[in-house]
Each structure stands twice: as C-alpha cells, then as structure tokens.
Structure 1
Amino acid sequence: MRILLIPDKFKGSLTAQGVIDALKCGVKKACPKADFVSVLASDGGDGFLKAISQNIVCTEIHLNTLDPLGRKIKSNYLLDEKGGRAFIELAKASGLELLSPKERSAMDTTTYGTGLEIKDALDQGITEIYIGLGGSATNDAGMGMAAAFGYRFLDSYGNELEPIGKNLSRVASIESTDVSLPSDFSVFAVNDVDNPLFGKNGAAHTYAKQKGATDKQIEKLDSGLKHFSEVVKKEMAVDAAFDTGSGAAGGTAYGLRTFLAAEFISGIDFVMNVAGVTKLLEEKKFDYIITGEGKFDDQTLNGKLVQGVVKMGSHYNIPVLAVCGQLEIDHENLQAMGIEAALEVSDTDKSLAYNMAHARRLIEKKIYDHFMKIQHFGTT
C-alpha cells in the first residue's frame, strides 16, 4: 500500500510535519508494509516559505519592516537568484501570528510591511515575485501594500488617510504621482480561497471576526471594501472586486491585482508543482492521499489546502482521507467536496485544551482504527 501524505498544520497543536509523523505512526501500526511519500505543502498561507525552501535553493533575505500595527520588526523572504524569483509570505510582516489576541483589530491593521518586502525585492532587480497569502491580520484591501510604493489615499478634503481597514470608507481619491515601479515585472498572488472582495462571502464577513472585528465592525469593513472598489473603478479603471480570490488576506489579493497587476495562481497547484508531486502522481500509483487540518468548517469549503488536495485526488482518481481536530461540515458537503472519509480525532469527553495537547496521540489512534477497519471490512 502506497500513501501520499499532504496535511496542513493543526494550528496551536502540531506542525504539518508533526501531523505527517502521527499519520505515519498510526498507519504503520495497522499496515506495517505501508509505503509513504510526504509533502510539506502550503496553499499560500502559513508555511509558504518553508514549503518553497524544501524544494528550491534560495537565499534568505532579512530586512527591517513594519508589523500590522506599524511597529518596527525584522522579517525575511526568499530569493531564488538562479531563477530570478522572490518568494514572500504575507504573514511574516502582516500576519495574525505577530499580534497577541488583545492586539487583533481588522480596523487598525495594515499591509504596509508586506509592501516594503515586495519593494525591497523589486529594488534588488527581481522581476518575478510570488506572494503567499494567508494568515493575515489585515482587512485593508492592500492599501498599506500600495502605500509602500507611493500611492496616497485621500479623503474628500484632500487629507491623506492612514492605509488601514477603518479608513476604506473614507477614501475619496487615489494619488499616484509619487509611485515608482519598474517597467517590467510580474507579481503572482498565491492562494487558494475563492472569496470575492465584499459581500456575504467576502473578505470581511468570512475572515474579519478571527482578526478581532465585532459584528458591527464587520459590516463597516464590508461596506468600506465595497466603497473602496467603487473609488478604484472610477480612479484607476480597474474592476476586480469579484475576481475569484480577490478577498484573500483581507482583500490584499485585490490590492495586488489593482496596484501591481498581479496574476492569481493556485497555491496548492504551485507548491505541488515545485515539490514535483504532479510528476510523482503521473508516474506512480497511490492507494490513498491523506490530508487534514485543525478544523473543517466553512473556510475549508472556500478553497483552502484541503480542498486543493481533494481536487488533485479526484483528478488522478485516488481516494482522499482527511483528519481534523474538529468537524463542522456536514456529510453532504464532505461528499460534495470529494472526501471519501473525514476523521474527527478529538475526544468529545475531554476539553479543547486536552485535545490540542494530545493531538499527535489522537491522530495516531484515529488513523490506526480507520485502517484496521479498512483491512477488516475491505472498505472505507
């Protein structure tokens, strides 16, 4: 039996490598002869740089930048000098991981620090930049990123606005006379979410709550995103609000397309190609693909790593098993996604803290039980 392992991390419990190790251990106990191929993947979110560095020889570039609240920090990105490419992980400068729970505020955060990273790469003469979106603390539609290149956002009185979420609704015009960009460059927004910029499935309604926004603030942010897109349409003749994935990273994908003419590409497809998985699937037969993440919920349905893996399994006619800490998707939606079996590993008699602390053992046991069942009944 040959199994391909491509899980996401269980946030707060296990890294993706930790999940891989637990899956191997559990399956091996049930099927000692099982053969594994494992991939540290990313859908463009957390772990993007790690996934790239495992497969491409890169130089790590360190620089001074700003965090989502405008504080000075040191960050890094990867430079593939041979290929003339740079790889940037948005979360390194604009990520939720940089803020304490009390500091999270989608109204007050900015992508300015990520803009400084992109600018640094362009200043070094790099003309092909891949930006992994995900794990953002922001909801500024990429205003901060654009401001790093000299774009100025003005209110109805001509006053310059701070490029943060709560000011989206106040933007009346966009000044670009100070913008300096190379004549020839390409930017790729790497992500796997389907959300538009605004609306009930947009950036604010889907993601702003986890970034510290209240229900009232979510409505204000959503209205601000809509208003901002109308100003952009009028001032720059760009209409990308409903391009699939524009809502990624609090609308940063939209900003990248609007201000840097970015192309949207699938994170899972990109990383799988970089890791040689596509070629592997074409050359070798796998009996199962196992993926997973900490929680299966509505966000999983919007195109995260798990959905990308499931699509890949469907394309190559390989059944996909998934493990998760919490399962909040009904059986009908799981079937529609193409998941053959979703295994919730949590012990419902125990606390969340217990389950997070014992995630590895719980994954091992659940996957062991499942493969013992497969061997006994000859079915999933």
Structure 2
Amino acid sequence: MKILIAPDKFKHSLTAQEVCKIIENGLKEKSGSLEIESFPMADGGEGTSEILALQANAKPVSAKVHDPLMRNIEAQYFIKDKTAFIEMASASGLQLLKSDEQNVLKTTSFGTGELIKDGIIKGCNEIILCIGGSATSDGGAGMASALGFQFLNDEGEQFIPTAENLHLIKLIKMPEDHFFKDIKVSVLTDVNNPLTGKNGASYQYAIQKGALEKDLEFLDKGMQHLKDIIFQQFNFNIDQHSGAGASGGMGGGSTFFLNADLHSGIEFIADALNLEDKVKNADLVISGEGKLDTQSFQGKVVSGVLNSCQKLDKSLFLVVGYNGYKSELPKEIKAVISLTDLAKSQEEAIKKASFWLQKAAFQLFENTKTL
C-alpha cells in the first residue's frame, strides 16, 4: 500500500517535518511493508518558506535586520539560484516578541523590507514572500520604508509608519533609487480577508497581536487612511484582491509597494510542489494540522489536500491536535483522529505531542487496514 503523508505543522508544537516523521515511523512500526512518502506542507503561514526551500533545495542565508520593535536581530531566509524565499515572521513575527511586548500599535514590518533588500543585493530577481504570523498592522508601510519609500506628515517630516501613526501620513514619496521595480514578487497568504472593515485586518487579527477591543476602530481608520492616500496619489487600490488584509495589511500593501502578485498560499504551494501528482500515486492520503475548524476548509493545507483527493477519488485521513469541526465531513475524509481525544485533555496533547501523535499513527494503521 502506498501512503502519502502531507500535513501542516501543529502550531506551537511540531513542525510539518516532525509530524511526517512521527506518523511515518509509527506506521512502519506496525508494518514494514508499507510504501510511505512524507511530504510536509504549508499554506502561506509560518514555516512556508522553509517548506518551499526544502523542496527547492535552497540554501539558508542570514541578514542583520530590525525586529518588530526596531531592535537589531539576525534573521534567516533562503536562496536558490536567483529566487529568495522569505518568511515575514522571521523579521516581523509575533514569535519574536514576549507576550508583554506585543503591541500592534507600535510594531513595524521594517525588518521584512530589509530582508527583501538583502535578497536583491545578493542578486535575486524573484522574491517569494510568505506573510503569516506577523506582529504588525502597518499595511506594509514599514517594509516600504526600508526599501526607500518616504512617508511625510503635515509638517513635511519623514517617519516610519506603524499602526499608531498611519493616520498622520500626508504624502508618500516613491524611492529615488527604485532598485526593486523589475523584481518579480509573489506574496503567499493563508487568509482571504479584505484590508478594512469588520472582516478586515484590524478587526479580525489585531487583538491577537496585542490590541485592545477599544483600539480596533482607530486601527481600522488608520488602515483606511493609508488606502485612501495611496489611491489619491497613485490611483491604486490596495484593497482590491482577496487576502489584502493578511498580516496586518501586508497583503494589500505589497500589491502597491512591491507590485506583488497576491496568491492563496495553499494553491501556490500545491502547484509548486506538484501535490496532485503525489496524491495520484498514493492509495490513500494522511493530512492534518494543529486545530481542525471551519477555516481548515478555506485555504488551509487540509483544504488543498482534500481538493486533490476529491479530484482523484482518494481516501483522506486526518490527524489533528484538536477537532473543533462540528459539521458533516466530506465523504473523502474517512476518519479524524484528535490528539486531544487520545490524551483526554488539550494541555496533555500539547505537552506530549510527539507521544500522542505516535499513538494516533497506530490508530491510523488500524483504520487503514480496512481499505
């Protein structure tokens, strides 16, 4: 039997590579005759650049940049030939801040711009920017500042925009040395929110980055102001594509500041990694993620794998940290195994994720024997 293991990471617990390895080892412990291919996946969220770099055999490089609070750090990205694979979270991510440092009003995406600049200086003419996990909500203006865009207030003073002061932007000046204008940029996101409004960047994601409920209207107005200024000056709408609100508006901002193409992460990755061919060659497929919910079927790894299974009439088994999906599952999904159910508590499942994932692999083996 040929089995394809194609999961996402289990956030705050296991990488996609680790999930693959544990499930594969567990299945092989039960039967040495299984033919297994491990194929770690991502959808534009944290860890995506590493997955793409792994498949492309890209090499890691480091650069000195600024973190979300403008402190000096060293961040990593990947280069293959003239393509740079950059993770926004490595320079501007929530993971870089302690819980008491998280304040979306003051954080900046400046460091992400520095990573992009470093890749271009090193000779790259294509950037694949994965924008999940950011600590920011500056519409990509901080990133743009690092690339030479100037943001001026009423007094003509230049400043680096953050969510706290987006409303002070009076004028945007294009870079004098637009050294990146011919660079091809693809931005990958795992959400499809618009830039502004109740379903936009501020209302949907700012609280998890340290904002308070009372801040949301102010934050949304600041994002709207950035959108209006760019439209007034350049006749460009940064809120015209699905996913514009991703990562504090980096999705929308990048379409103007970087002339980027905005992509559904899972669709881009499934195509880049030839997921459909992998599924076609398997007898059954195993996927999963940290938490299964309605969003899992809206642009996440599980949705991408499911789409291929539906197209090719393949059985799909899911292993998840926690199963919060209460509706009827598509018929292709034969079983959902939850580590929380096995461990009897979510805390225990997270604490000993590797142990319970191995137990889940054993249960998977019993379930697949009937196929």
Instruction: Give me the TM-score of the superposition, normalised by structure 2.
Output: 0.90
Matches within 5 A, 1:153-172: 153-172=151-170
Does residue 76 (structure 1) correspond to residue 76 (structure 2)? The answer is yes
Contact 1:195–1:302 under 8 Å retained in 2: no
Matches within 5 A, 1:350-361: 350-361=344-355
Q: Which SS does the other structure have where 1:194 is aligned?
A: coil
Q: Could you tell me how far apart the structure 1 residues matched to 2:42 and 2:130 are?
A: 9
Q: Could you tell me how far apart the structure 1 residues matched to 2:181 and 2:94 are?
A: 33
Aligned-pair CA distance for 1:12 = 2.4
Identity level (%): 35
Q: Could you list the runs of 4 or more consecutive aligned residues of structure 1 that deviate by over 6 angstroms after TM superposition?
A: none
Does residue 329 (structure 1) correspond to residue 311 (structure 2)? The answer is no
Deviation string, structure 1 residues 30-58 (Cα, Å, up to 9, x no partner): 66543211112222232233223322243
Q: Could you tell me how far apart the structure 2 residues matched to 1:88 and 1:223 are?
A: 29
Deviation string, structure 1 residues 191-241 (Cα, Å, up to 9, x no partner): 232121122322223322221222222332223222321222112211131
2:309 to 302, 307, 313: 313
Contact 2:110–2:143 under 8 Å retained in 1: yes
Matches within 5 A, 1:103-114: 103-114=101-112
Q: Could you tell me how far apart the structure 2 residues matched to 1:192 and 1:24 are?
A: 26
Query: Number of aligned pairs?
Result: 371
Q: Could you tell me how far apart the structure 1 residues matched to 2:6 and 2:14 are?
A: 14
Does residue 21 (structure 1) correspond to residue 17 (structure 2)? The answer is no
Q: Could you tell me how far apart the structure 2 residues matched to 1:218 and 1:367 are?
A: 43
Matches within 5 A, 1:41-80: 41-80=41-80
Change (3 A) 1:357 1:250: same
Contact 1:44–1:89 under 8 Å retained in 2: no
Q: Could you tell me how far apart the structure 2 residues matched to 1:268 and 1:294 are?
A: 16
Contact 2:107–2:135 under 8 Å retained in 1: yes
User: In the alignment, which residue of structure 1 is the partner of 2:182?
Assistant: 184
User: In the alignment, which residue of structure 1 is the partner of 2:196?
Assistant: 198
Gaps of 5+ in 2: none
Aligned-pair CA distance for 1:189 = 0.5
Q: Which SS does the other structure have where 1:134 is aligned?
A: coil
Q: Which SS does the other structure have where 2:165 is aligned?
A: helix
User: In the alignment, which residue of structure 2 is the partner of 1:138?
Assistant: 136
User: In the alignment, which residue of structure 2 is the partner of 1:293?
Assistant: 289
Q: Could you tell me how far apart the structure 2 residues matched to 1:322 and 1:340 are?
A: 8
Moved more, 314-323 or 3-12: 314-323
Matches within 5 A, 1:164-243: 164-176=162-174, 178=176, 180-243=178-241
Q: Could you tell me how far apart the structure 2 residues matched to 1:183 and 1:262 are?
A: 10
Instruction: Give me the TM-score of the superposition, normalised by structure 1.
Output: 0.88
Aligned-pair CA distance for 1:157 = 4.1
Q: Could you tell me how far apart the structure 1 residues matched to 2:212 and 2:233 are?
A: 31
User: In the alignment, which residue of structure 1 is the partner of 2:299?
Assistant: 303
Aligned-pair CA distance for 1:294 = 1.2
Change (3 A) 1:80 1:29: closer
Aligned-pair CA distance for 1:116 = 0.9
User: In the alignment, which residue of structure 2 is the partner of 1:149?
Assistant: 147
Aligned-pair CA distance for 1:28 = 4.2
Change (3 A) 1:341 1:159: farther
Moved more, 346-355 or 207-216: 346-355
User: In the alignment, which residue of structure 2 is the partner of 1:3?
Assistant: 3
Gaps of 5+ in 1: none
Contact 1:151–1:175 under 8 Å retained in 2: yes
Aligned partner letter, 1:66: H
Q: Could you tell me how far apart the structure 1 residues matched to 2:319 and 2:170 are?
A: 47
Moved more, 228-237 or 31-40: 31-40
2:260 to 236, 259, 262: 262
2:99 to 98, 101, 126: 101
Moved more, 135-144 or 145-154: 145-154
Change (3 A) 1:188 1:122: same
Q: Could you tell me how far apart the structure 2 residues matched to 1:247 and 1:320 are?
A: 31
Aligned partner letter, 1:360: S
User: In the alignment, which residue of structure 2 is the partner of 1:90?
Assistant: 88
Q: Could you tell me how far apart the structure 1 residues matched to 2:45 and 2:78 are?
A: 15
Aligned-pair CA distance for 1:100 = 1.1
Deviation string, structure 1 residues 67-123 (Cα, Å, up to 9, x no partner): 011100111222222xx2111111111111111111112211111001011112223
Q: Could you tell me how far apart the structure 2 residues matched to 1:24 and 1:125 are?
A: 39
Contact 2:320–2:336 under 8 Å retained in 1: yes
Q: Could you tell me how far apart the structure 2 residues matched to 1:240 and 1:276 are?
A: 31
Q: Could you tell me how far apart the structure 2 residues matched to 1:79 and 1:18 are?
A: 23
Does residue 244 (structure 1) correspond to residue 238 (structure 2)? The answer is no
Q: Could you tell me how far apart the structure 2 residues matched to 1:98 and 1:38 are?
A: 29
